[in-house]
Amino acid sequence: MSRYQEALQILKDNDRGEFSVPTHGLYPVQFNWDSAFAALGYRLFAPQRALREVELLLEGQWADGMVPHIVFRGEHDGYFPGPDVWSTGQPIPTSGITQPPVAGSVLRRLIETGVEVDQPRLATMVQRLADWHAWFSVARQCPDTGAIVIVHPWESGRDNLSDWDKAMAAVIPDTGLGEYKRRDLEHVDASQRPTKEEYDRYLTLVRFGRDCNWDQAHLGRNSPFRMLDPGMTAMLLRAERDLIWLQTRVGQDISATQARIRRLEDGWRALWNPSVKGFTSLNQITGEPGQAVSSASFLGPYAGMLDHLSETLDHFDRIAGRVKYMVPSFDPDAPGFDARRYWRGPVWYVVNNRIGLGLREIGELDRSERIRRDTAALSEATGFSEYYDPLTGDGLGGTRFTWSASVYLDWASEQAGAIASTAATAATPGQG
């Protein structure tokens, strides 16, 4: 079976009817940005299924506008931390935090590439996106800078990035957590997963949310962990620009979106870190900036922001000379880099995809091609892992991963011929 066929098969196998799981076993639930990326893959052989993936994700929206990072649908097989730990009291059980807002950008791509949807249905989805984006300005925007704050490392989607270490070390672990059984360690080697100490602190932050009844504005102002994140800021900024396109299409007013864009542009600029000469995270509580660039530092072009482009590209070239496969999640020259542990160094396709798109759009073709080729080469060598070692190319974490298959199909493989032949023999995805 070719890698292309294998990727299609993974998307079919991880399909649960109207939503996909990131992978069988390790993550048996619907994740926010995973679903958005899954839709990019489904688009190629089941366009209506792709649309439904995004629509269903948005149907998990809270009354306050937040679209949660996990929606517990169907059989979730004792996933930990499950609905009882989050205890959010939502009609559909969900987690109590959000995740990178890429759904709007993906929806635009679906519509632009010909996925059909009637106007009222699209208008409902667009309104939900607008409400979610507006929620960020109420619950997750730093009032001083305009950058987006995360209240839990999981919210960033880049869960255990070295950037979060110091701020997490300052979170006093809850001593009343009791015994708990992590399910991730049943599926993946412990050396590639967060440590027990990190996990205690993750759960302490969940407890903080539960104790304030998930009052999101309160969390945004008072969580003991509040980091300004270039990843979230850039992805929201891009999603807002794509929202304008969608709102125009359905005749909705764009003025509030435009105002939010201006504020987010200030926010992105505020993350410029002169000592690192890159866009980095910033601890909102202590005012301390990050010590090194991460993959999110390269998302400026994707967000439509070209400030400090030459310094940013200098970092890109330095790192490109250090690793075999771009883009490592954390600077390989910085302390805290670990080529194999989760977000502390490995390559993740979804971030590659967004960085690559942005660079291509501004005409940085050699650099965007380097990322695309490296991504394709990783899969051709080892298949569709959760993430990859940037030095050796080893596939790590979970296997048969939806978003890796999807990004490969949609972008990395760029096999126009294969897409055409797949469409001709299109089968509907199975009910996994």
Selected from 19, 31, 42, 164, the binder of ligand GLC by CB under 6 A is: 31
How far is the C-alpha of 230 from the C-alpha of 210, rounded, in Å?
26
**Smallest separation, CB 31 to ligand GLC (Å):** 4
Six-digit token string for 221: 């102002």
CA angle 230, 135, 280 (to 5 degrees): 10
DSSP state of 114: T
Stretch of residues binding ligand GLC (CB under 6 A), selected from 2-10, 25-33, 111-119, 204-212:
25-33
Find the binder of ligand GLC among 34, 155, 265, 364 (CB under 6 A).
Answer: 34
Shortest CB 157 distance to ligand GLC, Å: 4
Instruction: Give the whole-angstrom CA distance, residue 393 versus residue 391.
Output: 6
- State the catalytic residue, choosing from 55, 374, 386, 389: 386
DSSP 8-state class, residue 164: G
By beta-carbon proximity to ligand GLC, the closer residue of 225 and 272 is 225
Q: How far is the CB of 159 from ligand GLC (least distance, A)?
A: 4
> 207: buried, middle or exposed (CB in 10 Å: 19+, 13-18, 0-12)?
middle
Judged by beta carbon, residue 312 or residue 399, the one nearer ligand GLC is: 399
The one segment of 30-38, 173-181, 188-196, 231-239 that binds ligand GLC by CB under 6 A: 30-38
Q: How far is CA 343 from the centre of its chain?
A: 12
Q: Which is nearer to ligand GLC, 22 or 68 (CB)?
A: 22
Burial class (CB in 10 A: 0-12, 13-18, 19+), 174: middle
β-pair partners for 53: none
Residue 93 or 146 with smaller CB distance to ligand GLC: 93
Nearer to ligand GLC, 156 or 291 (CB): 156
Instruction: Answer yes or no: 75 catalytic.
Output: no
Report the distance separating Cα 156 and Cα 164, nearest Å. 10
How many positions of this chain bind ligand GLC (CB under 6 A)? 7
Please identify, among the stretches 6-14, 28-36, 290-298, 354-362, the one whose residues bind ligand GLC according to the rule CB under 6 A.
28-36
What percent of the chain is helix, strand and coil (3-state, nearest 5)?
50, 5, 40
Task: Please choose, out of 29-37, 85-93, 112-120, 422-430, the segment that lies near ligand GLC by the rule CB under 6 A.
Answer: 29-37
- CB of 343: closest distance to ligand GLC in angstroms? 6
Give min distance, CB of 99 to ligand GLC, in A.
6
CA pair distance 157, 150, nearest whole angstrom: 10
Residue of 4, 11, 19, 27 interacting with ligand GLC (CB under 6 A): 27
Nearer to ligand GLC, 22 or 65 (CB): 22
Q: Among all residues, whose Cβ is closest to ligand GLC?
A: 22
Q: How many helices (H) and strands (E) does the chain have?
A: 16, 9
DSSP assignment of 387-416: EE-TTT--EESSSS-HHHHHHIIIIIS--H
By CB under 6 A, is residue 33 in contact with ligand GLC? yes
Helix axes 32-42, 47-59, angle to 10 degrees: 170
Nearer to ligand GLC, 33 or 279 (CB): 33
Amino acid, res. 310 = S
CA dist., res. 118 & res. 164, Å (int): 43
- Residue 312 sits at φ, ψ, to 5 deg, of -65, -45
Active-site residue 386, yes or no? yes
Q: Which of 6, 18, 159, 380 is catalytic?
A: 159
Select from 22, 28, 41, 267 the one that contacts ligand GLC (CB under 6 A).
22
Contact string 146-185 vs ligand GLC (x = CB under 6 A): -----------x-x--------------------------
Q: Which residues within the stretch 361-390 sit at the binding site for ligand GLC (CB under 6 A)?
A: none
> Between β-strands 282-283 and 278-279, what pairing exists: parallel, antiparallel or unpaired?
unpaired
Amino acid letter for position 41: G
- Quote the CA–CA distance of 410 and 297 in Å, as a whole number: 23
Question: Closest distance between ligand GLC and the C-beta of residue 256, in Å?
Answer: 28
- The footprint of ligand GLC (CB under 6 A) covers 22, 27, 31, 33-34, 157, 159
Q: Could you give the residue numbers annotated as active site?
A: 159, 386
